[in-house]
Amino acid sequence: MTEAAFHRGVTLAEIALGLVTFVGLLFFEAPYGRYQKKGYGPGIPQRVAWIAMEIPAVVVWLGIYFAGEHALSSAPLALMGLFQLHYLQRTFVFPFRIRPFGKTTPLAVVLSAIGFNVLNAYVNARWVSEFGDYPSAWLTDARFLGGAVLFGLGFFGNIAADTTLIRLRSDGSSGTYAVPTGGLYRYISCPNYACEMLEWTGWAIATWSLAGSAFAIYTAANLVPRALSHHRFYRAKFPDYPPERKALIPFVL
Ligand code: NDP
């Protein structure tokens, strides 16, 4: 089997994993954050957990990327820049902004996120710098430009939405939950997830690839059920929760 055929098989496996994850998460919330439960291994302090979970998306990703034949070409470099913009923020900035108040993340969640990020690094980094075909002209192609714009909107929207949540605990309310307001929270309960999904949809368009689509599908598979769970959580916990607010897509879902 050629490596290209193997890579395609792994990419299809990522999509299959997304479908299984989606169905599973409709019945069972991933046990971190507000759904944290005992029984999934020792607890890792939340900041350490976030860094450990996401660092393969920087280190392993870049290692695989720079082993590729086209790693130093302009269009692959631009795509690498987009991906790393997100993951440098998620790995080295976001964990120091949240207010965990001593909360932990179970080891099983950390290990499964590490495993996924290694898989996804092979699927996406190997595609961008080795198997994909991105001449310099790709940088002015409407698919790259449109995808990069969506990615940028999602990136800044995700940070803005996470910032709103982080500020809800700025008064020292130790680890409790409040109703977020303002911005996209006027319309939906989870704009951080909606914007994250927009980012990776933009990535799928900018790379115009099965690899990029696999990650966009997996992200949606992970975050759509979690957004529905968060929405139910808010409605159950806050009797005056704005009734017109949807979970993830304004006016729709
Ligand atoms: P959450 O929205 O569950 O939580 C984000 C942070 O805000 C946590 O520190 C949480 O605390 C706190 N928080 C959430 N809601 C409230 C509230 N109502 N009042 C006070 N504090 C609140 O997001 P996740 O932790 O699931 O995800 C964090 C980021 O990672 C998001 O940007 C998400 O898009 C991204 N992500 C991406 C995934 C992907 O597949 N690409 C998968 C998972 C996450 P606590 O932890 O105590 O609940």
Please work out, in degrees rounded to the nearest 5, the angle formed at the alpha carbon of residue 59 by the alpha carbons of 58 and 60.
Answer: 105
- Distance, CA 40 to ligand 1 centroid (Å)? 19
pLDDT at 173 over 90: no
DSSP-assigned letter for residue 104: E
pTM of the predicted protein model: 0.97
How large is the average pLDDT for residues 49-66?
Answer: 98
* Per-residue pLDDT at 171: 77
Report the nearest atom of ligand 1 relative to the CA of 180: 18
- Beta-bridge mates of residue 106: 43
Report the nearest atom of ligand 1 relative to the CA of 161: 32
| Cβ contact 122:10 at 8 Å | yes
- Distance, CA 229 to ligand 1 centroid (Å)? 12
Distance CA 210, CA 201 (A): 12
**158-177 residues labelled b (16+ CB within 10 A) or e (exposed):** bbebbebbeeebeeeeeeeb
Residues with CB under 6 A from ligand 1: 33-34, 98, 103, 158, 162, 165-166, 168-169, 175, 177-178, 180, 192-193, 196, 219, 222-223
- pLDDT (tens digit, 9 = 90+) per residue, 74-95? 999 999 999 999 999 999 999 9
Residue 251 neighbours by CB distance under 10 Å: 8
